[in-house]
Structure 1
Amino acid sequence: MRIRTLFFILAGAILASWLVGCSQGGTGARAGGGGGVAKKLTVAISIPSGDHGWTAGVNYWAEEVQKMYPDITWLYQKADNVEQQRTQVENMLAQKPDALVILCHESGPLDGIGKQAKDQGVYIVSVDRGFKDPAIADLFVEGDNVAFGRKSAEYVVGKLNGQGNLLVFEGATSTVNDDRVAGAMEVFGANPGIKILKRQQSNWNAEKAFNDAETILVEFAGQKIDAIWAQDDDMAEGIERALKEAGRTDLWMLGGAGKKTIVKRVMDGDPLYPADITYPPSMIATGIHLAVANLRDGQLDRIRPFMPRHVKIDVELIEPSNAGNYYFPDSPF
């Protein structure tokens, strides 16, 4: 599966690079251009601030890919919240970019500014947390979040032999969380021996997960908890702090996203983290690269008929037997 996933990503990158190489001249075009030389490209990038490990990785990859294209004018903004992101995008749109690559803080609240960009003729690439209205984006790049939820839930059910009490932690309101939870709940719901004691939204934030877990552990102090579906490695690390303070050593967790500290613990056989699941922050670089490749030779109208509108990156279960393939000690995440 990992080989197939890498092949798909590389094949997409090669195709996009080939499209760039086919240009006979010119360095850029407006999104609706039909060919020929046009003005230099301006690309706007809007992403959340690095408020936790995964988004810090997104920040790193967004900055790395910009170095590949020194001829492009970059408008690059990082936002602490939805309101700030909306304002930043409005300001960038006033500078008339050719493309907008956006990873939304939340799905839904930014649909309005997304539609404004579309009406302005901006080529829109949405990454990870998609718009609620899928018609807004010209291209949507995401991990397979339904598979993320399904595969991780199947692992939990299998390790528990179909019987056990479970806590479920959820991320921020978004298409990502919706899909992951839907995929997981379908599996849990098909196994009547799995009892979900509580579902808690902790927004992929370690500190919030720590505080929420403290409260939940008190609430269920008299009940057995067999495992925690933490969904996210940062949340898992926050929950771990609460477990340590409560002296709980009788359960295990499954996080997600392939954070190097967690992957190392899976690799070392830590019983608290028997497995993890991938979700690469480098997908932002994929989105930025495809935006550039699709626009810079001015032939977008000819590219649209065969360019997919939805690129979905597969996810893989990480266990001790294969964790070495996913451990990158020099990675920012």
Structure 2
Amino acid sequence: MTNRRIFSGIALAVCALASMPALAQNKAMVMGVSVPAATHGWTGGVVYWANRTKAELEKQYPGIKVFVKTAGSATEQANQVQDLQTVNKIDTLVILPFESAPLTKPVAQVKSKGVFVTVVDRGLTDPNAQSAYVAGDNPGFGKVAGEYMAKAMGGKGNVVILRGIPTVIDNQRVDAFNEVMKANPGIKVLDAKHGNWNRDDAFKVMQDYLTRFKQIDAVWASDDDMAVGVQKAIEQAKRDDVKLVVGGAGAKGYIKKVMDGDKIVSADVTYAPSMIADAMNLTAKSRVEGGAMPATTIIPSVLVTKENAAKYYFPDSPF
């Protein structure tokens, strides 16, 4: 992994420094990495980058151990976190929570045992449960999408929103998007429902929207997997009123749509799953080498249009 990718967002987001001391140089780090299972494209990318970075770290720092666990639910992940601490004897945890609220207490309990905790992407409901935080720019994600859509819509029309899984980051994204919409009184937000970052759930939500609303000018799907379900529902309903669908995260399929000039997909917003690799690398470097770990690292969200899409298109990536 290149230094450019590892440190791409650090300059934007350094707050206070994490205070927990680094490991002694002669002590091997035991890192647990807990992520959601590959239930959709973005988490598939997360799992890929977590396992790839495990191999890279164990090669870079001989003697350390990295355990990667995937979970299909918040309950399963909470149990895995406990097992990582009691069975695998981890002293370092990098976790992308399945959901925020159910994982806060289990993670706090592990931290209370002296484990250094880096939380990724989906923030916990109590920041004291973490030692460091690495994420994409979630308010920026919503703001960038909202500003593009408002301009593309000419400041007027009807829009529907598909939210993700109920998490802190989903709130941040939607709040920022809605702030842009408030500044554009000619645009009416008809409804906002959770599509859970899942194309099948999004398909059902969009079907409901299409049934209830006779005029929908634009859709903010807030995730490329959900955008797939949205487009399928629009095509199945044979609706031609929807002129714009904006997703997000930078899935290769949707970046390709932007590149190819898809008639209703003219832009995307980045939110790279490789942030799990950034978090693992930053945490390992701090813990093993003794450098200070930023308490907060934010990786910027970027608007992708036809003009710059090739820069963000990685056909060999799983996502």
1:147 deviates by 0.7
Unaligned runs of 5+ in 1: 14-30
C-alpha offsets along residues 204-240 of structure 1, whole Å, 9 cap, x if unaligned?
Answer: 01100011111221112xx211000111100000111
Farther off after superposition, 287-296 or 58-67: 287-296
Correspondence 1:132 to 2:118: no
Correspondence 1:41 to 2:29: yes
State the distance in 1 between where 2:153 and 2:105 align: 44
Correspondence 1:317 to 2:282: no
C-alpha offsets along residues 85-131 of structure 1, whole Å, 9 cap, x if unaligned?
Answer: 00111111103211000000111111111111111000101010011
Q: Is the 8 A contact 1:32 1:121 kept in 2?
A: no
Structure-2 residue corresponding to 1:84:
76
For residue 270 of structure 2, what is the amino acid of its counterpart? T
Correspondence 1:268 to 2:260: yes
Output the TM-score relative to the length of structure 1. 0.87
1:35 deviates by 3.8
C-alpha offsets along residues 34-64 of structure 1, whole Å, 9 cap, x if unaligned?
Answer: 74422x2211010000000000000000000
C-alpha offsets along residues 169-218 of structure 1, whole Å, 9 cap, x if unaligned?
Answer: 10001111011001100000111101011111111011000111112211
Q: Is the 8 A contact 2:23 2:288 kept in 1?
A: no
State the distance in 2 between where 1:55 and 1:184 align: 23
For residue 288 of structure 1, what is the amino acid of its counterpart? M
Structure-1 residue corresponding to 2:277:
285
Q: Is the 8 A contact 2:108 2:128 kept in 1?
A: no
1:289 deviates by 0.9
State the distance in 1 between where 2:268 and 2:127 align: 29
Q: Is the 8 A contact 1:263 1:323 kept in 2?
A: yes
C-alpha offsets along residues 6-50 of structure 1, whole Å, 9 cap, x if unaligned?
Answer: 58825859xxxxxxxxxxxxxxxxx64574422x22110100000
For residue 321 of structure 1, what is the amino acid of its counterpart? E
State the distance in 2 between where 1:324 and 1:34 align: 41
Equivalenced residues, count = 303
Q: Is the 8 A contact 2:10 2:298 kept in 1?
A: no
Q: 1:245 aligns with which of 222, 236, 260?
A: 236
Computed over aligned residues only, the root mean square deviation of the Cα atoms, in angstroms, reads 1.9
C-alpha change, 1:98 and 1:277, in structure 2 (3 Å) is same
C-alpha offsets along residues 244-267 of structure 1, whole Å, 9 cap, x if unaligned?
Answer: 110013312000001111111101
Identity %: 39
State the distance in 1 between where 2:25 and 2:271 align: 38
C-alpha change, 1:190 and 1:290, in structure 2 (3 Å) is same
State the distance in 1 between where 2:40 and 2:181 align: 28
State the distance in 2 between where 1:35 and 1:68 align: 21
| Higher Rg of the two aligned structures | 1
Correspondence 1:294 to 2:286: yes
Structure-1 residue corresponding to 2:47:
59
Unaligned runs of 5+ in 2: 12-19
Q: 1:116 aligns with which of 102, 109, 114?
A: 109
Structure-2 residue corresponding to 1:235:
226
For residue 186 of structure 1, what is the amino acid of its counterpart? E
Q: Is the 8 A contact 2:5 2:278 kept in 1?
A: no
Q: Is the 8 A contact 2:159 2:188 kept in 1?
A: yes
Q: Is the 8 A contact 2:6 2:281 kept in 1?
A: no
SS at match of 2:57: coil
C-alpha change, 1:265 and 1:8, in structure 2 (3 Å) is same
